[in-house]
Amino acid sequence: MLTTPIHPLWLRLTHWLNAFAALIMMLSGWRIYDASPVFPQIVIPPSITLGGWLGGALQWHFAAMWLLFFNGITYLAFNLLSGRFRAKFFPLSPRAVIHDLFAALRGKLSHADLRQYNAVQKLAYLVVVIDLIVLVLSGLAIWKSVQFPVLRELMGGYDRARIVHFCAMAVMAAFVVVHVAMVALVPRSLLTMLRGR
């Protein structure tokens, strides 16, 4: 008998397309950053960047940007219109986050029901979704700073928009490291994100 999948097909597709686009954006972004570092003391080793040189990296960055953008809109639209967003991520309270965080650190957090995210997961996923929106908006402010003056000024000007973009990238990179480590600890969750059940 067919049961409702834990993760619907649209979610699995948008998740993996997002992971692919985010990876391309990050690796090519590092090469673009190296051409003119915002923080002179931070230089990304060229061997872990994508694009070969500034022009090549920009091509990758702009190509993956459209995938990230339209895929992100699709994820948000399906989530909000279906009511899944509210059901999956709320209610969420600081008390629940602290409780689940300590339970996780003591190895006492249950993963029996993969349909439900714990409070730490809910917070982490909400933070990364907001972070991706900030990444796109700050990227737009840098790319089209003349055409979107209000956005540019909201970021504190062109130079600050670059800092916002870099910091949002760092938050995403930190999320991915912890996220992949957590998935490795609970491999069943990877199967559900691949097969739905």
* Contacts with ligand HEM, residue ranges (CB under 6 A): 11, 15, 18-19, 22, 88, 114, 125, 128-129, 172, 176, 179-180, 183, 189-190, 192-193
Q: Which is nearer to ligand HEM, 54 or 180 (CB)?
A: 180
Beta carbons within 10 angstroms of residue 82's beta carbon: 13
Residues 6+ apart with CB under 8 A from 71: 14, 17, 18, 21
Q: Return the number of the residue (22 or 32) whose C-beta is nearest ligand HEM.
A: 22
Instruction: Give dist(CA 100, CA 106) in Å, integer.
Output: 10
Nearer to ligand HEM, 170 or 183 (CB): 183
| Minimum distance of ligand HEM from residue 20's CB (angstroms) | 8
**Minimum distance between the CB of residue 129 and ligand HEM, rounded to whole angstroms?**
6
Q: Which two tokens stand for residue 165?
A: 């973009």
| Residue 48 DSSP class | G
Q: State in Å, rounded, how far the first CA of the chain is from the last one.
A: 13
Place of tokens 């909400």: 126
Comparing CB distances to ligand HEM, the nearer of 74 and 189 is 189
Of the pair 73, 190, the CB lying nearest ligand HEM is at 190
Classify 109 as helix, strand or coil: coil
**Least distance from C-beta 5 to ligand HEM, angstroms?**
12
